[in-house]
Structure 1
Amino acid sequence: MLTPVSSRSVAPVLPVRSVPALWSLLLTFVVLGPLLTSPGYLLLRDAVSTPRSFLTDSSLGLSDAAARAVPQDALLAWVTTVVDGGVAVSTILTLSVWAAGWGAARLVAVVLPRAGVAAQLVAATVAIWNPYVAERLLQGHWSLLAGYAALPWAMCAAVSIRRRQRGGWPALAVCLAAAGLTPTGVLLAALVTLAVLAVPGGRGSTVVRVAGAAALTVLASLPWLTATLLAGGGTEADPAGVRAFAARAEPLLGTLGSLAGLGGIWNGDAVPGSRTTPWALVGTLLLLGVVACGVPALWRRRRHPVVVAAGVLAAVAVLGPALAATGPGLAAGEWSMANVPGVGLLRDTQKWVAPAMPGYALAAAAGVGALQRRFSGPAPIWAAVVVAGLVLALPDLAWGVSGQVRPVRYPDGWQKVTEYVTARDGDVAVLPGGMFRIFDFAGPVAVLDPAPRMVRADVLQTGTLLVAGGTVAGEGHRAEEVERLLLTGAGPETLAAEGVGWVLVEHRTPGDRGESQRTLATLEPVYSDDDLSLYRVDGVTTDASPHRTSAIAAHVVWLLLSACGVVGVLVQRFARPRKQS
């Protein structure tokens, strides 16, 4: 006779299982509070959100610049037809940070099932509350955090595949597709996935599961791979970028110590205030102390494939960028930039520290049990102590990294300009020269020019970056020529011959304007206010790239991979178990 399960015995299970997700959501709100409580748009260094984006050739990666924002820009172009762009970016960023914490907790539940909920909360805190997240937020790499968030989930999916459990392959498809919002993201997720799947053992063939994961990685990478193959963008890279984007030493830590503390981003301005003082050493010691507490416990579980993969990845993720910042490492990087096509994708070496996060989270979670065994006392108390230490290590991550990650509002002129610019009447050249702007409405920080994501036509950008000690040349050779023509006062016929149909002048920002006033005096003014002026170059029409259909098809494959993965996960999750005879 079967005894029905009482609601009293089931009820407590659901709240307990949901605690890590709720805790991660709370941390996410504490980190992103200003962005979530005020209307507006994220405009901070490399992060640009606009009310509406458009499916230009550039958004598909079909330009001479590297396809670094593919398929991110195309996705926003589609999504913003129905949702405001500020809401879309804030939602994706929120989901990414939340998923990072929840995923780390889930990884602990899979790998260390006896660790308990308290240990899962510590792992979630490690994944969210660390310098890597803070620095990438300040640098504006919101979409890279989607790839970061996918890492623990991809490891969980890989474990399911090794055990031949239902839903493993669909879950991996979702992880890789989500990480594939940027090229770097999908490579990070593929790295941790293959590391777990390649460890000998488990059910089924190692070769088959590695090949399957590689095939899914190609599908998730199809948008940027297709754009690169068809348009050739990003095959060249300036060797100067190796030194400019090398990992940076923080106070009293050195480069290796900074990377071990999950910090060390190349841009010293995109760093929380506490990491610019001797507190960086204290915070790093607190984080590493938490991680070190659990290392012996993980060592005793070294036969577990995820423990092996996470440990190796953490070591390589810290040591690799540190070696790349040494003299021989810089020399090797400069050689590869000059001789190996596509290596420019790797130039920001500190972002490759991300694969250390799952290992750190597992070790910190194991450390809770180690502290409990060593000093006695309930696990929740020790978890609370560890969480307090992690927060104390980086106190200014709270509330938008001390209010720096916040929304802005565009002046009305930006929306009016978008109503004039058409897609088929030539590309847009922008003044002043350069890609970065300092706007009063965005604060004192230099931000990427929002024009390319604001108007219907392709906006020509050189890709040249101003960094400490000089410049790093971009790949936009046509844009460089057009910028030179404007700054030397070329006539409208010359601009028209280059396919330029519009010139947008952004007034309230410093920058080189050269002799451009001579050019502007010969053009037809279309719109002008205190912030912007738009000029028309007559007689220019442009055709869409002949590769546009292929690029869109690659994006559709990426979307279908996401959709099929989600459907597969839901089907496996809610499918009825087979009846046993």
Structure 2
Amino acid sequence: MSGSGLARRDRWARFVPAGYSGSLAVVIAGPLLGPGYLLLRDAVSTPRSYMTDSALGLGDAAARAVPQDAMLATLSPIVDGGLIVKTILLVALWAAGYGAAVLARELLRVSLGPQLVAVTVALWNPYVAERVLQGHWSLLTGYAALPWTALAAYRIRVKGRGTNDSHNWGALAGCFAAAGLTPTGALLAGTTAVVLVGRRNVLGALVLLSAASAPWLAATALSGAGTAPSDPAGIAAFAARAEPALGTLGSLAGLGGIWNADAVPASRTTPLALIATALLLALVAIGIRTTAGKSRATKGDTKRPTRTAGDATGDNAASAGGTDRASLRVRRALLVLAAVAVVLPALGATSWGMSGLEWLVAHVPGAGLLRDTQKYVALAMPAYVLCAAAGCRAVAARFAAKEPASSPGMALTATVFIALLVLPLFDLAWGVGGALKPVHYPIGWQKVAERIDGTGDIAVLPGGMFRKFPYSGKVAVLDPAPRMLPRDVLQTGELPVHGRTVAGEGARAREVETALLHGDSAQRLGGLGVGWVLVERTTPGPVGESKTTLAQLESVYADSQLALYRVPDTTDKAAHPAHRAIAYAAHILWAALLVGGLLLAAIATPHRHRRIRPPTADS
């Protein structure tokens, strides 16, 4: 084939995984393409958000939604907030799949078929299904960043010292910032980078990670909410869960096992869970030896792919040996990371493992981030996609006399691999069986937001953080009031899980809720910093003796669904201006890393013909 023909084929091979990943993303989240807003369990999108103290992480609850809430508050006056959230979710799914294909192409030099298998493993799995159903759209950005983080760390490792490597460090900074929409996402990306980047680059990676995590680190230090110990009851409540016939370890190895049994596809409650897990692990196992470098190269593996401008490694043939050694080290490190990511959450679900974690969250500030241990199974995804891609290539090679990358056997093998991954989890399609669908808020929410024109925080009735509105479906959803209204909405942070209540950090919110349910005076509410009381009339929940308190307040707005009251003589409990300034600065730093890092990675072009010194043994 001529040089131009090879170039065209190479460009086509790079376009197809991106298109395939986008197609799977649409199949998974397709219902969100219509009008409306995402409101499902922990996911809350609203037309407009506001830059409240809580959005900056300065409320009296832990800063778990920082910087995502501040980002939405900044952008939603310009672009509808619901559209922003839906776009981020779709882009995250696309990026997870396409990143898996690029990672497999660069670390294993596989052809198109195995790349498509890698895309499928990254997107069509129980982890994605369960986190979509739980409403963890921002966590999925951290999940999507993992293959790109691994790729950036590998490229930094390959470059070594003494080279102009700004594009790779920019890519790593952008990955950290994208993953850092939530603290857990930052931990996922940071762990991946530190394990892979090489010892001489660890300090630089940690500095970047700290900068990308500045919003929630600053908020935790300023508010003090995240420094308090967490409720040990959260460990058992959020422990990984065994699925039918799998046990906890098997569920986690199959990328499932979320704590909430209601946030799983229907297929995971049947013997299909066992079948899907067995097939996934079998396809992964086929490629483990190749990924770890323990087997001989299969037919056609020794032929190095044609270099094009799209290759971002920037090395030349002279450095191929060093690059291959670095690739092998990175692949082996990802395999170890995957094993740890499966085994440790399984140990955390045992009685003695839970006892250890309960002691940790009760005595170590910030350890509450570890209570949902199943989240960290995401760290296994990069290794899984590599093993499945390598396995696809190995199986195809057995049926090809030569050039397996272009043989019909490769296409057939990839098709079979993809079918075996997709069919047992068929109900991931179209919003996990239709569970993911947009909702429409009544106009009353907008009218209430317009009426709130004074100081003071907002207390909400009924008590609790979760709601069941007529328009929100059958499952309980987080109250949209904190993201819908222009003042801080006081929330206790208490979570009902499996018939028990896990205490939150909102001490003042708990005091306010107790005062309302006991029918305390308006003066009592005002002294606690409450300027407004919102009654959500169409959702069940405790209201206690609140009528006694409401009778003392001024009615500002009322319709069939919402009622708003003004509290007289309110003591303003807003955050100190200096704290807000520091929080703003931290968010600006995060935004600069996100935008600047990704632009630097996209614009800066490595010198393709520069000779790169291979990594040394200690890198």
TM class, shorter-length? over 0.9
- 1:111-122 matches, within 5 Å, as 111-113=107-109, 115-122=110-117
Of 515, 524, 544, the match for 2:554: 524
Q: Equivalent residue for 1:390?
A: 421
Separation (CA, whole Å) in 1 of partners of 2:136 and 2:103: 24
Of 212, 215, 219, the match for 1:223: 215
Q: Equivalent residue for 1:163?
A: 158
Of 330, 337, 356, the match for 1:313: 337
Q: Which amino acid aligns with 1:174?
A: G
Determine if the alignment matches structure 1 residue 34 to structure 2 residue 31. yes
Q: Which amino acid aligns with 1:191?
A: T
Separation (CA, whole Å) in 1 of partners of 2:8 and 2:280: 36
Q: Equivalent residue for 1:561?
A: 593
- 1:106-255 matches, within 5 Å, as 106-113=102-109, 115-164=110-159, 166=165, 167-198=167-198, 206-207=199-200, 209-235=201-227, 236-255=229-248
- 1:26-105 matches, within 5 Å, as 26-36=23-33, 38-105=34-101
1:574 Cα deviation from its structure 2 partner: 8.3
Match of 1:458, SS state, is coil
Deviation by residue 1:144-174 (Cα, 9 ceiling, x = unmatched): 0000000000011011101117421111011
Deviation by residue 1:12-44 (Cα, 9 ceiling, x = unmatched): 4322211111110000000001011x1000000
- 1:236-275 matches, within 5 Å, as 236-275=229-268
Of 398, 420, 424, the match for 1:374: 398
1:448 Cα deviation from its structure 2 partner: 0.2
Q: Is the 8 A contact 1:192 1:309 kept in 2?
A: no
Separation (CA, whole Å) in 1 of partners of 2:46 and 2:489: 15
Q: Is the 8 A contact 1:158 1:197 kept in 2?
A: yes
Q: Equivalent residue for 2:311?
A: none
Deviation by residue 1:32-87 (Cα, 9 ceiling, x = unmatched): 01011x10000000000000000000011102211110001000000101000110
Q: Which amino acid aligns with 1:517?
A: K
Q: Is the 8 A contact 1:301 1:307 kept in 2?
A: no
Of 584, 587, 599, the match for 1:552: 584
Q: Percent identity?
A: 58
Q: Which amino acid aligns with 2:370?
A: L
Deviation by residue 1:270-323 (Cα, 9 ceiling, x = unmatched): 010000112111111111111111112123259612211110111000000000
Separation (CA, whole Å) in 1 of partners of 2:330 and 2:29: 31
Q: Which amino acid aligns with 1:325?
A: A
Deviation by residue 1:467-512 (Cα, 9 ceiling, x = unmatched): 1031100000100000000000011111101110000000111100
TM score, norm. by length of structure 1: 0.95
Separation (CA, whole Å) in 2 of partners of 1:60 and 1:272: 34
Runs of 4+ in 1 over 6 A off after TM superposition: 574-579
TM score, norm. by length of structure 2: 0.89
Q: Which amino acid aligns with 1:97?
A: L
Separation (CA, whole Å) in 2 of partners of 1:363 and 1:169: 26
Separation (CA, whole Å) in 2 of partners of 1:499 and 1:544: 8
Q: Flag the 1:576–1:336 CA change in 2: closer, same or farther, 3 A.
A: closer
Total equivalences in the alignment: 564
Q: Which amino acid aligns with 1:32?
A: A
Q: Flag the 1:574–1:306 CA change in 2: closer, same or farther, 3 A.
A: closer
Separation (CA, whole Å) in 1 of partners of 2:569 and 2:460: 19
Q: Flag the 1:282–1:26 CA change in 2: closer, same or farther, 3 A.
A: same
Q: Is the 8 A contact 2:528 2:571 kept in 1?
A: no
Match of 2:213, SS state, is helix
Separation (CA, whole Å) in 2 of partners of 1:87 and 1:573: 33
Separation (CA, whole Å) in 2 of partners of 1:545 and 1:506: 27
Of 407, 417, 428, the match for 2:458: 428
Of 14, 18, 41, the match for 1:17: 14
Q: Which amino acid aligns with 2:81?
A: G
Of 282, 285, 290, the match for 1:289: 282
Q: Which fold has the larger relative contact order, with Cα–Cα distance below 8 Å and residues 6 or more apart in sequence?
A: 2
Separation (CA, whole Å) in 1 of partners of 2:12 and 2:572: 58
Moved more, 568-577 or 346-355: 568-577
Separation (CA, whole Å) in 1 of partners of 2:518 and 2:100: 55
- 1:400-439 matches, within 5 Å, as 400-422=431-453, 424-439=454-469
Moved more, 86-95 or 297-306: 297-306
Determine if the alignment matches structure 1 residue 481 to structure 2 residue 521. no
1:542 Cα deviation from its structure 2 partner: 2.3
Q: Is the 8 A contact 1:287 1:393 kept in 2?
A: no
Deviation by residue 1:369-388 (Cα, 9 ceiling, x = unmatched): 12113345621110000000
Match of 1:149, SS state, is helix
Q: Which amino acid aligns with 1:293?
A: I
Q: Is the 8 A contact 2:459 2:532 kept in 1?
A: yes
Separation (CA, whole Å) in 2 of partners of 1:12 and 1:264: 41
Separation (CA, whole Å) in 2 of partners of 1:567 and 1:375: 43
Q: Flag the 1:498–1:125 CA change in 2: closer, same or farther, 3 A.
A: same
Q: Is the 8 A contact 1:35 1:90 kept in 2?
A: yes
Gaps of 5+ in 1: 199-205
Q: Which amino acid aligns with 2:123?
A: I
1:539 Cα deviation from its structure 2 partner: 2.2
Q: Which amino acid aligns with 2:190?
A: A
Separation (CA, whole Å) in 2 of partners of 1:87 and 1:396: 25
Separation (CA, whole Å) in 1 of partners of 2:288 and 2:434: 35
Separation (CA, whole Å) in 1 of partners of 2:16 and 2:236: 44
Match of 2:55, SS state, is helix
1:413 Cα deviation from its structure 2 partner: 0.7
Q: Equivalent residue for 2:494?
A: 464
Of 551, 570, 576, the match for 2:602: 570
Q: Equivalent residue for 1:201?
A: none
Q: Is the 8 A contact 1:505 1:533 kept in 2?
A: yes
Q: Flag the 1:351–1:420 CA change in 2: closer, same or farther, 3 A.
A: same
Q: Is the 8 A contact 1:291 1:367 kept in 2?
A: yes
Q: Equivalent residue for 2:358?
A: 334
Q: Flag the 1:432–1:179 CA change in 2: closer, same or farther, 3 A.
A: same
Q: Equivalent residue for 1:344?
A: 368
1:571 Cα deviation from its structure 2 partner: 3.0
Q: Which amino acid aligns with 2:206?
A: A
Q: Is the 8 A contact 2:529 2:573 kept in 1?
A: no
Moved more, 100-109 or 299-308: 299-308
Separation (CA, whole Å) in 2 of partners of 1:415 and 1:15: 48
